[in-house]
Amino acid sequence: MPDTLPLVTDPFARFQEWMAEAEASEPSDPNAMTVATATPDGRPSARAILLKGVDARGFVFYTNMHSRKSAELAANAQVALLFHWKSLARQIRIEGHVEPVTAAEADAYFATRPRISRLGAWASDQSHKLDQRLTLERRLAEFEAKYPGEDIPRPPHWSGYRVIPASFEFWQNMPFRLHDRTVYTRRDDGGWETGKLFP
């Protein structure tokens, strides 16, 4: 729908509004986002993962710290996120840098994961070569035997990142490709400068 309401000055509040509408309309994983990283020499890569937390500090996701994305973030902390909700004809672009979540935050989220997902975090050498699927299945079986109950500790190589935004762009589809684009850029004082972009 056209953006006819007064401009929301807090991009996090606007994000929460759009996410709530996406949760009501998207058939699967409204919290899915593309995470784009790059090597120090600028070679980009992107993948879709799930947002697991958002507050005034930033956007949180979790991963294997031995993965390609983690290696790239260790060398270049700049990151971009993209949320695209086709059912709403909307997208949000976010650019910023990452900071690691605390061990307590990672422990708390890890404990909420299904048992097999927690075991999988131990079994998977994420982003590294796998000779055959059977190897992964055997490793999973080994950890199932090692941790037969629900008490499964978080692997030391599994944690999360918080994306600290420097900018947001809220994009709303409009007729004849005359789209509405609202941008927020973080000021030095921590506030936000708002504006519009040509479609």
List, by residue number, the catalytic residues.
177
Half-sphere exposure of 52 (CA within 13 A, CB side): 18
Given a contact cutoff of 8 angstroms between Cβ atoms, the answer to whether 79 and 35 are in contact is: yes
Q: What is the CA radius of gyration of the chain?
A: 19
List residues bridging with 25 in a β-sheet.
Answer: none
What secondary structure letter does DSSP report for 101?
A: P
Distances (CA, A) of 41 to 45, 72, 77, 95, 176: 12, 10, 13, 18, 38
* Strand-pair category, 180-186 with 32-38: unpaired
Give the Cα separation of 73 and 126 in Å (integer).
15
